[in-house]
Amino acid sequence: MPRVVPTPDPGAPRDLIGGLRRRLMVMLLATIGAIGAATVAFHYQGAGTAALQQDQRLLRLVPMLADSVVVPRGVAPTDGTDLTLLMAPPIQEFLADRDGHTAVGVFSPQGERLVGADWLPVLLPTTEAPEFVSVVDAGVTHRVVAQRAVTEAGELILVLADGSDARQHWLRNVLLRVLLPNLALFAVAAGVLGWGVTRALQPLMDLRQAVERRSPRDLSPIDERQTPAEVRPLVNALNRLFARVNEQSDTQRRFVADAAHQLRTPLAGLQAQVEAWAQAARSMGAGDLLSLRAEQVLRLRDATRNTTQLANQLLALSRADALRDDDAARETVDLAELCETVLAHFLDAAGARRIDLGLEAAPARVQGHAWLLRELLINLVDNAIKYTPVGGAVTLRCGQGDGGAGAAWIEVEDDGPGIAPAERARVLQRFYRVPGTGGSGHGLGLAIADGIARVHHTQLRLGSGAAGHGLCVRVVFDAVAH
């Protein structure tokens, strides 16, 4: 069976380790190359300076060459065909120091060669200013100066040539002294840097392999002591991420287990009601059946409402858990407006039990998730109405200024049985109900409200109601300026 080789995705991210190694090598080798280029430029500038000094020396020797021109006795001064050169000491030193690479020449104003080698060029300056040229003879570049000067033989053109031009040796010097050593250094540095960078990045590659080899269920923290100091911030960030994912995974597992356990009871009740109804229908007469049907319908309705409420509470609990570490998508929420909306939602339920449902709202604004805060308030008010005796009172309040000018709060107070101080911490746990508590609750209302409060970086404060009885639940937030 032929093996299928997957085509690499051009949009996939490049190898991080390879990218770091490549960037480090390029930066380091580019630095060495820049140093080499700067050295070449420095040597070239030095060669140019030496060449300028050479031109100036040739120019200083021209008057001495003019003094070296001697006319024999009895020869007219203007006749340059029979002149003699008695070299001045600086000229002799110049010729001796560069034996074989120097030359002198004397030409008539018309360009006739009087003294000098054949390769010397014929230069006819039109003024007394010197004229410089470069002439190649036998593979040697000579720097040549020609200048008109007045001598004993009259006006002549004097020529000096120097074959030690620094610029002609520049390339060879740079090649031997700069380029070859730098190329060798570049090659050695490339090998050493490649090895060093690979060794330096080895802990990062080990970390990548350790993460890749992990099971999706292994969310244990990475040992930061085994990583370099530069990588520890990354390791710490990964460990924090693992901890959050692990906590969220545990929360989801607990939620699924709790939901399955809690839904089993109301669903079993629904099934029992329907089965009993069907069995009774088969054995009763028409009149008794109508009476039983009405009673069973009411029971079935109550069981359905109970199941629906439990499902909604579980959904709210799951949403609160999902947003616990998410501060995004927050908005400004008007607590007074929120309290008015929730109050209207419970007017019928409170009226059915003759409960005095009141509102005391003052302006207050907070940053948060509006739908979550509404769910928090609904659970608090629903709990208060559910456990307050018939004819009791429930008051919903909000305001600003508790614990400082920068605080805003909401509060639900009832005059029901309340919760003993020893039980107040436990009632915030999921599915916990105070022993002996009546009603049809599931032990989720306060847990959901506390979870939503923690999403907003606060928590429920449970206390006694007015006159020392009942329950007062308060949530304090950071206020937003009006």
Residue 299 lies in a domain: yes
Closest to 155 (Cα-Cα) out of 68, 99, 78, 228: 78
Q: Are residues 171 and 39 in the same domain?
A: yes
Q: Name residue, tokens 């040796």.
A: 169
Residue 204 lies in a domain: yes
Per DSSP, 229 falls in state T
| CATH at 265 | 1.10.287
| 305-346: pLDDT as tens digits | 666 656 666 666 566 655 555 555 678 999 999 999 999 989
Q: Are residues 56 and 133 in the same domain?
A: yes
Residue 442 lies in a domain: yes
Closest to 40 (Cα-Cα) out of 196, 139, 179, 194: 179
Residue 176: its pLDDT value, please?
A: 67
Q: Are residues 183 and 272 in the same domain?
A: no
| 8-52: pLDDT as tens digits | 444 444 454 556 667 777 777 777 778 777 777 776 666 666 667
Residue that is last in its domain, among 322, 344, 378: 322
Residue that is last in its domain, among 213, 237, 263: 213
Residue 8 lies in a domain: no
The parts of the chain modelled with pLDDT lower than 70 are: 1-21, 43-51, 73-82, 98-100, 165-179, 251-329, 402-405, 431, 435-443, 482
Residue 235 lies in a domain: no
Terminus-to-terminus CA distance in the chain, angstroms?
72
Q: Are residues 271 and 137 in the same domain?
A: no
Q: Are residues 261 and 141 in the same domain?
A: no
Ramachandran area for residue 216 (φ above 0: left; ψ -120 to 50: alpha; else beta): alpha
Distance, in Å, from the CA atom of 431 to the CA atom of 111, rounded to the nearest integer, reads 120
Q: Are residues 316 and 335 in the same domain?
A: no
Q: Are residues 154 and 98 in the same domain?
A: yes
Residue 341: its pLDDT value, please?
A: 92
What are 321's two structure tokens?
Answer: 């858990």
Residue that is last in its domain, among 187, 213, 239: 213
Q: Are residues 442 and 340 in the same domain?
A: yes
Question: What does each C-alpha distance from 438 to 56, 261, 267, 386, 441 come to in angstroms?
Answer: 116, 20, 20, 10, 8
Q: Are residues 420 and 369 in the same domain?
A: yes
Please list, residue by residue across 390-428, b when 16 or more beta carbons sit within 10 angstroms of its beta carbon and e when fewer do: eebbbbbbbbbebeeeebbbbbbbbbbbbbeeebbeebb
Closest to 83 (Cα-Cα) out of 151, 160, 145: 151
Residue 295 lies in a domain: yes
Q: Are residues 313 and 335 in the same domain?
A: no
Q: Angle CA(253)–CA(254)–CA(255) in degrees, nearest 5?
A: 90
What residues make up the domain containing 153? 13-213
Q: Are residues 355 and 311 in the same domain?
A: no
Per DSSP, 5 falls in state P
pTM of the model: 0.46
* Domains in the chain, number: 3
Residue 218 lies in a domain: no
Q: Are residues 310 and 406 in the same domain?
A: no
Residue 229 lies in a domain: no
| CATH at 449 | 3.30.565.10
